[in-house]
Amino acid sequence: MRIVKRRKGNRDYYYMQHSFRENGRVVTEEKYLGKKLPKSIEAIREKMEEAAKRRLYAKLKAIRSNFQKQWKRYPESAKERELREIAIAFTYNTNAIEGSTITLEEVREILEDKIAPNKPLRDIRETENHAKVFLEMLKSKQKMSNEILLKWHKEIFGETKRDIAGSFRYYYNVRVGPHIAPHWSLVGRMMKDLILFINRSRLNAVDLAARAHYRFENIHPFGDGNGRIGRLLMNYIMWLEGYPMLIIEYEDRGSYYKALQGGEESFVKYFMRRYISVHKKRTVA
């Protein structure tokens, strides 16, 4: 939302504008405010933002509806193959973002053919364990909890990061690039609040997934592996509510990191744009 002033003759006129993407093009809506800014400008802004949110949620619900119609038509064997393919792509990208040297084809060889490439054993074990956790996650119907997050972390990193696997970072602090994570003494309370937020929220699942992921990464509750657990978390939230998932691709890591550094609202906007772009064919009936 932005306020625009236009000069006509010797008078100024004020408008509130909101731009959004529709069918591949940018559409700008405009509301005339008057010759001077009204006192009710915040109420006007809130009304326009609410209208924009309704349009966005309608697209997200269309994605869910069309995905569910398509998914229900799949035979069980086809569903299993599709989920294995997603597991391969997701495991490759999420690990590559965190520095894994294993390629997409090597991930496929590890998971499908049980062939180990000439790569660090740590990367191989984390590939195997991540894919296992991911596929098990998709079968779960449990509400999110810290116990689930700790279990995922232990199962993925139990062989490679034994000293921190399955535990929050009590008694030490971490810094990731320019981001200084909250003091270790705050982690327990912040994670409890995050779980309450997730389980009590009435937000659309995609909106909630974006905010939960951003807040989780901001807390950085583990000594290592936060990115991978955070991306599992966001996809679990969406999958549990019947939405298709989102893979943050290795090639797009730059824009992903930039969005995370820009604050929660900036990240949510990035996430929504990315999600709708990936699933744009499902936004129409």
Mean pLDDT score across all residues of the chain: 92
| pLDDT reported for residue 24 | 60
Instruction: Inform me whether the pLDDT recorded for 55 exceeds 90.
Output: no
**At residue 114, does pLDDT exceed 90?**
yes
Residues 36 and 135 in one domain: no
Asked whether residue 137 falls in the same domain as residue 151, the answer is yes
Please, which residues bridge with residue 15 across strands?
Answer: 4, 32
For residues 192 and 54, state if they share a domain.
no
Indicate whether 170 belongs to any domain: yes
Most confident of 36-40, 43-47, 169-173: 169-173
Kindly list the catalytic residues: 220
The 10 Å Cβ neighbour count of residue 115 is: 10
- State pLDDT tens for residues 72-94: 999 999 999 999 999 999 999 99
CA contacts within 13 A on the Cβ side of 187: 20
| Residues 231 and 148 placed together within one structural domain of the fold | yes
| Single residue among 73, 105, 120 that ends a domain in this structure | 73
- Regarding whether 34 and 127 lie in a shared domain, the answer is no
Residue 285 located in a structural domain:
no
According to DSSP, residue 78 is labeled: H
Domain interval for residue 272: 76-280
Helices (H) and strands (E) in the chain — how many of each?
10, 5
Q: Domain total for the chain?
A: 2
Taking residues 237-243, what's their average pLDDT? 98
The pTM (predicted TM-score) of the whole model is 0.86
